[in-house]
A and B are shown apart, each in its own frame.
Chain A
Amino acid sequence: MTTTGTADERPLFGPDSRFSGFFDDPRWALAIIRATVLEAAHPQIGAALVDNSTFVAHPWRRLRNTFLSMRRMFGADQAVREREAARLNRLHARMSGSDSRGRAYDAMDRATRAWVVATLFESAVTMCRLSGQPLDQDTMERMYAEYRSFLAALDGDASELPEDLDDFWRYFDRVVEDELENTEAARVILFRLFDHLPAPALLDGAPTLWAAGRAVVGPLLGAITVASLPESYRRRAGLPEMPGASTLMQGAYCAAGLARFLPEGWVNAESIIEALSLSPDSDDPRARTVAALTARMKRASALLRLLTPLSGVPQPDPAPSAGTGESRRSAEEFFRTVLDQTGDGHLDWPDLAAMARELCTRLDLDEPEETRLYDAFAAWWRELQEALDTDGDGRVSAEEYAAAVPSLAGPALIRVAEVLFDATDKDGNGSIDADEYRTLFRTAFHRDLTTTDGVYSQSAFVSDFLSFMSGRRTNTAYDPLLADA
């Protein structure tokens, strides 16, 4: 099985593929959630997600990265695809471990990876069915060939997925019947993720509005997703059957399907995702509009809060001290937003690995730079563990961290900063110019940056990195990079 060519000789990748046709389809948003639950229900994937994934604490960043990666994988350019596949393989090769019951997982396991591709394909087919616009047999077979090629591009060949579409359905039903479980990861996605979904950068200034919207939409999304899962899995996992849920689910898919009547270009997944991750202080031309919008939303939220009747309104959010331009954050907040990348309440190697992963993705690193960066983070992890893990359970809790904040800036962290500097300094001239800076931070030089002659020196870079990581300075360029959801 090669990666190109079927009966009608159209390329399986690129703008003409079925996959590209679904890219901007709003139904895809619902289908992706469904596919992710089915993935997470696989015990191996579920364990890997719970341990390593940043989707709870930084879902928007994760979404953006996945989106860009998928676009590369399904793009027309063979070289880009091969490079992305190699990158994904390196990334997954770093993930292995064991779940809460001691069963080993390995993100490179071939059968497991085939299941990920299978859920994506099956969810694409199902989303068409649920919205009342089922695919015909030819289209389905063509799309199946595309997804098999996708797996082949990742894995070398697609032998883990049946060659024939008919056999695929048997394979799919068998896995759902025999292998899927009610994993923690699946429960997190269904019942916790949307109820606690942090606001994307765009809406960060309006926590009240976000929380109000989330309180309505979160449970709905959960109910819609549950209703769209295969019946046999719902039964085995003991998921609730709610009256009207299936009507609601079909209604949601139908409504999303109606978007095909919108003028072309109205719904564009890329611009939506890019806009969501736009933070008001970036130098993007749209940022001014965003900043104005954010200011309005802030005022609207303020009015909403002031108008809320007083009696029995708990205000759990700690109020930042008024108007003093607070530039330091509390140890607890830093732990939650920056250090605990996987959002499990503990600082562990996967948290630091997630930081390294994010930095490698931003900088688009190849080997051996990628390994150097990971190694630096690993050394930092050993240093942190030694200094902070006072109860010896192998991980660092928020309390242990808060008790020992000053010891964070050890030599290993300085080493991380230096390696990061080298990786960012692509041309190796010993300083970071505006373009290199933009690659890492996606913004121009910060106004208060200590730059001389438009370049960022190593010493300034290292000291800024340290002050972010240990001095807990906020409002730095690192915030959108590591702290934003």
Chain B
Amino acid sequence: MPRHVACVMDGNGRWAQRRSLPRTAGHQAAETTVIDIIEAARAAGVEWLSLYAFSTENWNRPGAEVDFLMGLVRRVVRKHAPLLLARGIRCRFLGVADSRIPRELARDFEDLATLTSDNRGMTLTVAFDHGGRRDIVEAARSLIRSGTPADEVTERLFADHLPFPDTPDVDLVIRTSGEQRISNFMLWQVAYAEWVFPEVLWPDFRAPDFLACLRTYRRRDRRFGGVPPRTTGDPS
């Protein structure tokens, strides 16, 4: 069983276009999938689940779509907060640094993280306004600020300066809709990840598809290029 599963939620726009609906309808349809997958992952015993909700590059999308996304995410967060709390899921948001994020949304993110901070069931990391390179640059800045001598910098020490340093390496990345790209997602943590690329679009992705991905993962022969399995993260 993979310890840390990450999903790149791709295909919302295409899902909507195939139905001659506006792209926003695709994002709306994605909500059901998100809740379904969170529940499936929890039930399957996945300890860490990460979802790629919005990348630093997504700001380039049309303004109306971005605005819609912000409103949608806010509604989803508020709607499901009690459920996430009751299910014992610890939620946190990776990124969330851009000033274009509405203040109310940032507040809700913070509230949800505070609310669920004591949960121990599963850790759900939502990458929102996330960029893998930016995190690495931030870690480098933090290292330099801490005055660490160059010779002492190790992979482990470097990882301690990344946001949420307790996050273990990603074991499995699922990218829906058949696209086969990394797209600047958790670059440091996916170093040894296995990738699966189901053809199904994210709004159509359901628990059985997710479990199928887990089965695929179990059939893979992970070798880590001769490196110890976990270079980062809390081994507890």
Contact = CB atoms under 8 A, between A and B. Distances in A.
B81 A303 contact: yes
A319 B105 CA distance: 9
Interface string B188-218: 0000000000000000000000000000000
Interface stretch (B9-17, B27-35, B36-44, B70-78): B70-78
Contact of B110 (A307, A310, A319): A319
A305 B111 contact: yes
A303 B109 contact: no
Interface in A185-233: none
Given A306-B115, A307-B81, A318 B103 contact: yes
Given A318-B103, A319-B106, A322-B96, A310 B74 contact: yes
Given A307-B81, A307-B82, A322 B115 contact: no
A303 B78 CA distance: 9
A210 to B, nearest CB: 16
A263 interface: no
A323 B93 contact: yes
Contacts of B97: 321, 324
Contacts of B85: 303
Contacts of A324: 97
A299 B115 contact: yes
B177 to A, nearest CB: 29
B103 A322 contact: no
Contact of A306 (B96, B111, B163): B111
B108 interface: yes
Contacts of A452: none
A310 B113 CA distance: 19
Contacts of B96: 321-323
B103 A319 contact: yes
A321 B106 contact: yes
Contacts of B93: 322-323
A315 interface: yes
Nearest to B92: A323
A301 B103 CA distance: 17
A322 B108 CA distance: 10
Nearest to A314: B104
A319 B109 CA distance: 10
Interface string B135-162: 0000000000000000000000000000
Chain B binding site: helix, strand, loop or mixed by DSSP? helix
Nearest to B114: A302
A306 B77 CA distance: 8
Interface in A286-333: 298-299, 301-303, 305-307, 310, 315, 317-324
B128 to A, nearest CB: 10
Contacts of B81: 303, 306-307
A322 B113 contact: yes
A301 B81 CA distance: 13
A466 B81 CA distance: 43
A319 B115 CA distance: 16
B3 interface: no
Interface in A429-481: none
Contacts of A302: 110-112, 114-115
B107 interface: yes
B104 A323 contact: no
A259 B139 CA distance: 58
Contacts of A321: 96-97, 106
Given A303-B85, A306-B81, A307-B82, A322 B104 contact: no
B231 interface: no
Contacts of A323: 92-93, 96, 110, 113, 163
Interface in A365-402: none
A308 to B, nearest CB: 8
Interface string A48-75: 0000000000000000000000000000
B98 to A, nearest CB: 10
28 contacts: A299-B114, A299-B115, A299-B117, A299-B118, A302-B115, A303-B81, A303-B111, A305-B107, A306-B77, A306-B78, A306-B82, A306-B111, A306-B112, A310-B74, A317-B107, A318-B103, A319-B104, A319-B106, A319-B110, A321-B96, A321-B97, A322-B96, A322-B106, A322-B110, A322-B113, A323-B93, A323-B113, A324-B97
8 residue pairs, one from A and one from B, having the closest CB atoms: A302-B111, A319-B107, A302-B115, A306-B81, A302-B114, A322-B110, A319-B106, A319-B103
Given A299-B118, A302-B115, 7 more contacts: A299-B115, A302-B114, A306-B108, A306-B111, A306-B115, A322-B109, A323-B110
